[in-house]
Structure 1
Amino acid sequence: MKKILLLLTLAICSWSVLHAQDDTFKKYRENAAGKLKKAENDTTNRLWKKGATLSLTVNQGSLTNWAAGGDKFSLSIAGAFSGFANYRKDRHRWDNTMELAYGYVNTTSLGGRKSDDRIDLTSKYGYQIGKSLYASALMNLRTQMANGYLYTDTSDIFVSKFFAPAYLILSPGLDYIPNDEFSLFVSPITARWVFVLDDSLANVGSYGVDTGKHVNTEYGAYLTANWNKKVTENIVFKSRLDLFSNYKHNPKNIDVYWTNMLTMKVNKYLSANVSLDMIYDDDIRVFENKNTGVLGPRLQIKQVIGVGFTAVF
């Protein structure tokens, strides 16, 4: 009987020890798996950095028996979306941005018309070959959403719409990125396509396409510089300059596309924005010289000041 009790006691003790060891190893395995899963998530988060900014500005005014004069009613609405998704791993970097903007203004004297309209998509891949130098390839598409008109004192002239024009750039080159604020991309061999997918505009050779055609292919040199500067905790300045020289036609007449935005944050959801855009394209010859009456290219300038809702994701 004593032998049986002794054997039972030894069996119970052995089982307890083994069970305790199994629980211990199980906890070790669970902790190790949790740490591994967390490490994988952390790595994924480090590879991609994504974000967006959404802003909406509304201004309204009305006048009743106002001796100084002015429009009885005015309403302006402007919305903008800016999103990015950037990838980093070892020597690889892939930057993607989307810029959308649309504005509308209505007054009793002028009626309704748009004040802003922009679609701008950019994707750039780079492989690091030096301390701040990348061998890169860039794609950029720029067009608009709605019909556009050139307003005169007596008429409204239809001049643009979605994909009329649209500019598509494919460009291999070198990208100089000394820090997170500045980048300079240069390419001596760039292909640019100008699309005018509207018969009425294509038939008069708008935006440099041959009369009756919808696409014009250009080859030239391309440069784009981007500067994002955090001036203070609540003030950010963004600037982008694009230059393109067409080797096939008037290479000295360089196309310029320059956008600037100063954002001043008031609180979490309120901000003030000041923007200045400048465009020069020698192929856009719709502006009339008042002295000579001759149509030709002009420096296009758009300046906007607004205060409104802003959400950052």
Structure 2
Amino acid sequence: MKKFLFVFFLPAFYTAFSQDATVQDLKTESSKTITKDPNDTIPKIWKTGGLISVNLAQGSLSNWAAGGEKFSLSLNSLLSGFAFYKKNKHSWDNLATWNIGYVKTTSLGTRKNDDRVEFTSKYGYALNPKLNLSGLFNVRTQFFKGYDYPDADTKNYTSNFFAPAYVLLSPGFDYHPVKNLSIFVSPATARWTIVRPDSLRALYGVPVDKPADFQFGAYGTISYVANLGKAVSYTGKLDLFSNYRHNPQNVDVYMTNLFAAKISRILSVTYSLTLIYDDDVRQFGPHNTSAGLQVQSLFGAGLMVKFDNFTPKPPKAPAP
């Protein structure tokens, strides 16, 4: 992050024929050579920041002839933070995100509708300005218990912390053809699907007698950030994984999309779309034994605050 050196020149006024002592002093001060602090010319090797977003929606009905829920309330939030390191040919990118959401209605009570925790760490060594030799570590799970609701009176326990969790370790190449676009490809990736309770392992293709299933295959991920206008931004990621050891033609997909439109400094409207296909998760179809595309769509309006570098700005110099 570049530092700016603000230099204020005191005006020196003089006439063509005479100068008093006060004016002469001002002129002398304004003509002095100012020496820069060497530390101000050293670029930052760490860049840090984050984002907090909270969206809230509420509805109520009273004597409503068309029917509906008497009361509904939904809350969705996103917390993310990053720490990027770059020095010479070395780079190290770290990103953590947590999405959590709940919805409450009169008839159904309180239910979780979003819970995703993800951490990614990627080291890179620059081979040229656009290509890095890289190593990537990623873990994805959730914090709280999750349930499936086949009907209003039934709920089935389906998830918990590290049940499942997906852990991935991948060496490969990271290509940056343009700004804010990263394409990472690895032909040799290790991935573990971890499920702690044995009662849930069959839901995610993990052997009942083992806490984790090891997979080896090819992996690719594309990350992109773009400004679609002065107030609208897009953040997207697409992960693809092919398991060499079992049905390599059935590629697992994990895709996230976030559109954010700023209304004011802290107010925003957001829309997120998440698509997941995991060939080992066979909970769908007529007999709940087939893999299927999982889709999550969330729209909300609320608060969004960004933090960048967490470095306080230097105080302004007093006016002359």
Provide the TM-score with structure 1 as the length reference.
0.84
Distance in 2, Cα, partners of 1:69 & 1:206: 37
Larger Rg, first or second structure (1 or 2): 1
- Between the two structures, name the one with larger relative contact order (CA 8 Å, sep ≥ 6): 2
SS state at 1:65 partner: coil
Distance in 1, Cα, partners of 2:103 & 2:67: 19
Distance in 2, Cα, partners of 1:180 & 1:38: 26
Aligned residue number for residue 174 of structure 2: 175
Going from structure 1 to structure 2, the CA distance change for 1:294 and 1:99 (only over 3 Å counts) comes to: closer
Q: Which letter maps to 2:128?
A: G
1:285 and 2:285 equivalent?
no
Dislocated runs of 4+, deviation >2 Å: 36-39
Alignment counterpart, residue 297 of structure 2, candidates 290, 294, 303: 303
Q: Which letter maps to 1:155?
A: T
Unaligned runs of 5+ in 2: 1-33, 308-320
| Contact 2:198-2:208 within 8 A present in 1 as well | no
Aligned residue number for residue 133 of structure 1: 131
Distance in 1, Cα, partners of 2:264 & 2:196: 43
Distance in 2, Cα, partners of 1:152 & 1:197: 24
1:206 and 2:200 equivalent?
no
Alignment counterpart, residue 35 of structure 1, candidates 34, 37, 51: 37
Q: Which has the higher helix share?
A: 1
Distance in 2, Cα, partners of 1:225 & 1:288: 30
Aligned residue number for residue 270 of structure 1: 267
Q: Which letter maps to 1:197?
A: R
Distance in 2, Cα, partners of 1:295 & 1:131: 48
Distance in 2, Cα, partners of 1:288 & 1:312: 41
Distance in 2, Cα, partners of 1:98 & 1:282: 26
Q: Which letter maps to 1:189?
A: A
| Contact 1:62-1:74 within 8 A present in 2 as well | yes
Q: Which letter maps to 2:245?
A: K
Unaligned runs of 5+ in 1: 1-30
For residues 210-269 of structure 1, the C-alpha deviation after alignment (integer angstroms, 9 at most, x for no partner) is 122111111000000011011112110111000000111111111000000110000111
Distance in 1, Cα, partners of 2:85 & 2:230: 25
Aligned residue number for residue 16 of structure 1: none
C-alpha RMSD of the superposition: 1.4
State the 1:60 CA deviation.
Answer: 1.3
SS state at 1:200 partner: helix
Going from structure 1 to structure 2, the CA distance change for 1:106 and 1:178 (only over 3 Å counts) comes to: same
State the 1:294 CA deviation.
Answer: 4.8
State the 1:111 CA deviation.
Answer: 1.7
Aligned residue number for residue 48 of structure 2: 50
State the 1:61 CA deviation.
Answer: 1.3
| Contact 2:124-2:135 within 8 A present in 1 as well | yes
Aligned residue number for residue 195 of structure 1: 194
Aligned residue number for residue 146 of structure 1: 144
Distance in 1, Cα, partners of 2:127 & 2:78: 36
Aligned residue number for residue 84 of structure 1: 82
State the 1:288 CA deviation.
Answer: 3.6
Distance in 2, Cα, partners of 1:265 & 1:50: 22
Distance in 2, Cα, partners of 1:49 & 1:230: 20
- Counting aligned pairs with the same residue, the percent is 47
